[in-house]
Structure 1
Amino acid sequence: MIGYVKGVVTHIFIDSCFVDVHGVGYRVYIPGSTMEKLTIGREMLLFTYMSVREDAILLYGFQSQDEYDLFMLLVGVNKVGPKVALGIMSAIRPESFRMAVRQKNIAVLTKLPGIGKKTAERLILELQDKIGKLDREDSIGDMPMEGVVPQGIAQETLAALTSLGYSSQEVLPAIEENVQQCTTVEELLKKVLRVLGSGR
């Protein structure tokens, strides 16, 4: 088992990156939250999980221990494999996912990619006790539910802005602030670009 890799990021792809460790390039599959932290040419440490299948050996990496811990919980759930787990990791922050499970919030969980009602119920059933043990005493019980991939015009606006080179972390606050005031993607896009241009 490879616990982590530390090396220079040489390439970044849609769902993975190459990390050069003393001349050996490792392809590491990563969630969107980790991808946003990567810069080509800079050294990065990624906590890793190795998936061994009959046809492939794949390495999954995360920039924080918190993300790694959530991934390990997810792949331990029946019928949730690494690919689905990675999709979940790209769609919601670890603390928001834990809150959704603790509160048995089916509506939030079924918004995640690859998660239907039955899988959401299974996540709650299998993870509730485990997540309770992992939560710190100063945990996020009073924090608002955030970090879920937006839907509707917010989702389309996010896709348009990321295609222009913006990161989701950069634009999501402005989208959330203005989405209730807008009825079309064009209207929301203009408002968000105005906020980004003002430097707020």
Structure 2
Amino acid sequence: MIGYLKGTVTHLYNEHCFLDVQGVGYRVFIPASTRQQLAAGSAVTLFTHLNVREDAMLLYGFITTDEYELFQHLITITGVGPKVALGVLSAISPAEFRAAVSQKNAALLTRIPGIGKKTAERLILELKDKLGLPEGFSPVAGKAGLAAEIPQDARQEAAQALVALGYSQSEVGSVLQRIESDGQSAEEMIKLALKEFARR
């Protein structure tokens, strides 16, 4: 098992990067939260998880141990594979995720692309005793923050439409997280997201 890689980012893409480690280039799949902190030519240490399949061996990397540990918890849940777990980390911060699980807020979790009602309930049931509250978290402040989220159906509709257009769940989660504001319709979010994709 490869625990971490320390090297130089040579190429940066939406869902992965190439990391040069002493002349060997590793392709590492990364969440949007990690991607935002990377730049081509920069030296970095990524905590990694090696996923072995019959047809491939895939590396997933994270800039913080918080992201890495949450990823490890997520992939133990039935119905949540590495790609879905990566999408979760692209759509919501570890602190927000822990708060949602602690508060049993399935409605918030189902706003994440790839997470349906049954999976959200399973996440809460199986992780509520494994994940602690984020440091400095206030239940009152947390609920206020969750209440400010956009309506569930609008975000889900926008995410599903964008995925149907060929964008990945992690790309969609990252863009929607940046552009969303209270009260937006699905159509408004789709238009803004397409403009954001066009700038890349």
Structure 1 and Structure 2 fold alike (TM over 0.5): yes
| Structure 1 residue 170: Cα displacement | 10
Identify unmatched segments of 5+ residues in structure 2.
Answer: 160-173, 193-200
2:170 maps to what in 1?
A: none
Sequence identity (%)? 52
What CA distance in whole angstroms lies between the structure 1 residues aligned with 2:122 and 2:156? Answer: 26
User: Residue type matched to 1:48 in 2?
Assistant: T
The match for 1:14 is: 14
The answer to whether the 8 A contact 2:91-2:177 is kept is: no
Report the CA distance shift for 1:22/1:116 in structure 2 as closer, same or farther (over 3 A). same
Distance in 1 (CA, whole Å) between partners of 2:59 and 2:69 is 15
Distance 1:113 1:169 in 2: 10
Amino acid at match of 1:73: H
Match of 2:92 in 1: 92
The runs of 4+ residues in structure 1 deviating greater than 6 Å are: 146-150, 152-155, 181-184
- State the shift of 1:60 in Å: 0.3
In the alignment, what sits opposite 1:151?
A: 155
Q: Which has the higher contact order (CA 8 A, sep 6+)?
A: 2
Looking at structure 2, the residues matched to 98 and 42 of structure 1 have their Cα atoms a distance apart, in angstroms, of 30
- Verify: 1:36 aligned to 2:36, yes or no: yes
C-alpha contact (below 8 Å) 1:96/1:147 kept by paired residues? no
AA matched with 2:115: I
Counterparts of 1:50-199 in structure 2, within 5 Å, are 50-132=50-132, 135=133, 138-139=136-137, 141=139, 142-143=141-142, 144-145=145-146, 151=155, 172=179, 176=181, 179-180=182-183, 185=188
**Aligned position for 1:160:** none
Cα RMSD for the two superposed structures: 3.4
- Conserved in 2, the CA contact under 8 Å of 1:8 and 1:42? yes
Give the whole-Å Cα distance in 2 for the aligned partners of 1:136 and 1:170. 20
- For 2:155, the aligned partner's letter is Q
Q: Name the CA shift for 1:73/1:170 in 2 (closer, same or farther; >3 Å).
A: closer
What is the DSSP-based 3-state SS (H/G/I as helix, E as strand, rest coil) of the residue aligned with 1:129? coil
Which residue of structure 2 lines up, in the alignment, with residue 24 of structure 1?
24
Distance across 2 between alignment mates of 1:108 and 1:39: 31
Conserved in 1, the CA contact under 8 Å of 2:110 and 2:117?
yes
Q: In structure 2, what is the Cα distance between the partners aligned to 1:183 and 1:136?
A: 30
TM-score (norm 2): 0.73
Distance 1:137 1:35, change over 3 A: closer
